Amino acid sequence: MSFWKKKDNLIITGFVVAFFIGLSVWFDLCCVRAAFFPTKAAGSAFEVTFFDQNQNPVTLDQFKGKPLIVNIWATWCPVCVKKMASLNRFAGTFHAKGGQVLTISQDQGGAATVRAYYARNGYNNLPIYLDSSGQLLSAFGARGLPTSVFIDAQGKEVGRIEGGIDWDSSEVSNMIGQYFGINFSQ
């Protein structure tokens, strides 16, 4: 009798395949959306409406005039959560230097979910914005979470980071100097 004709072998093989599919999804949870949903052109990102913590509609056009970093994230994204503390510290320094960090959550639970997460962790330098539809992520043509987009004062994308980064690192300081002419060492 061949291997594939034995019922037990088929069941075990099915469990092994299901295990590895589940494992790959678990490790790549933040990037699953990119594998299944097409993305739009990056030029439309400034037209996408998202919401502030009071459910007021907002677009990126409203933030032109100063250096801007848009961080698209979610509380269910392990990499996002791991990097949020350093992003909070960075946002305070960047704001003092004339820039602004927008953290735009993809959470379905709304502002209450993000507000509770911020309160638990003491994040007071990060504003709450929501895009539970994922339209902004798609408009930027991003492949997953977290994605951080660097936008100059004229509203032009000058760089991006897809995935996690230590916001306290010299690499980020160098990018801020290169993209915005802001010196973090002073």
Question: What's the pLDDT at 104?
Answer: 97
User: Whole-angstrom Cα distance, residue 78 to residue 52?
Assistant: 23
For residue 1, which amino acid is it? M
Question: What's the pLDDT at 14?
Answer: 80
Edge-first strand listing for the sheet containing 50-52: 57-58, 50-52, 128-130, 100-105, 68-73, 147-151, 157-162
Average pLDDT score, the chain: 87
Q: How far is CA 130 from CA 2, 18, 56, 156, in A?
A: 55, 33, 10, 22
pLDDT tens by residue, 75-108: 999 999 999 999 999 999 999 999 999 999 999 9
pLDDT tens by residue, 1-41: 575 567 777 788 888 888 877 666 655 554 544 444 444 44
H-assigned helices in the chain: 7-27, 32-36, 78-96, 111-121, 135-139, 170-180
User: Whole-angstrom Cα distance, residue 36 to residue 57?
Assistant: 27
Average the pLDDT over 49-53 and give the result.
Answer: 95
